[in-house]
């Protein structure tokens, strides 16, 4: 459980105790505050988001694979700030990500991820990552000295 969810749950339990022993007006106010603060539990606060990334294309800024546990990725969707996600571990997904990271490191590119509607991510190497192609060496002119 993340810190945000734990704090929200503690607040709701405290509000329930006050509502049980308090007045109906207090119960209504505390219930309203609990409902209004519920969306704050979706904030990652340094922990992976509790939701899966929405369907779309992302650039993988960083990744960590914990074998048989999870795959942690920092994704940039191009709009807004990058988000930190915890993806379910499967051997195929982990191998796909590791192969893409290795290819990108060798070629100087980056790794992209496509999140499908079914919830399964796919990884692939993208582009050259801003690396310039080497220029061909120009032929030296032959100048005769007299």
31 contacts 15 by C-beta, under 8 angstroms = yes
pLDDT 10s digit of each residue in the chain, 146 long?
Answer: 567 778 878 888 887 787 778 788 887 887 888 788 777 766 666 778 778 888 888 999 989 999 999 999 999 988 888 888 999 898 988 998 998 888 888 887 888 888 877 767 888 877 654 445 555 666 666 776 55
1 DSSP assignment: -
Structure token pair of residue 8 = 């929200």
- Tell which residue, 42, 63, 60, 39, has the closest CA to residue 51: 42
Q: What would the two tokens of residue 6 be?
A: 């734990």
Beta strands in the chain (DSSP E): 56-66, 70-76, 83-88, 110-115, 121-126
């Amino acid at each position: 459980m993340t810190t945000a969810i734990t704090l929200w749950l503690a607040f709701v339990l405290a509000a329930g105790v006050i509502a049980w022993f308090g007045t109906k007006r207090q119960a209504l106010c505390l219930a309203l505050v609990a409902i209004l603060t519920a969306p704050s539990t979706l904030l990652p606060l340094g922990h992976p988001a509790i939701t899966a990334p929405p369907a779309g294309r992302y650039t993988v800024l960083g990744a960590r694979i914990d074998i048989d546990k999870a795959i942690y990725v920092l994704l940039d969707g191009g709009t807004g700030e990058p988000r930190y996600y915890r993806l379910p571990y499967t051997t195929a997904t982990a191998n796909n990500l590791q192969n893409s990271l290795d290819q990108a490191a060798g070629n100087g590119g980056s790794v992209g991820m496509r999140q499908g509607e079914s919830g399964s991510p796919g990884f692939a190497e993208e582009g050259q990552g801003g690396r310039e192609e080497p220029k061909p060496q120009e032929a030296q002119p032959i100048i005769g000295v007299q």
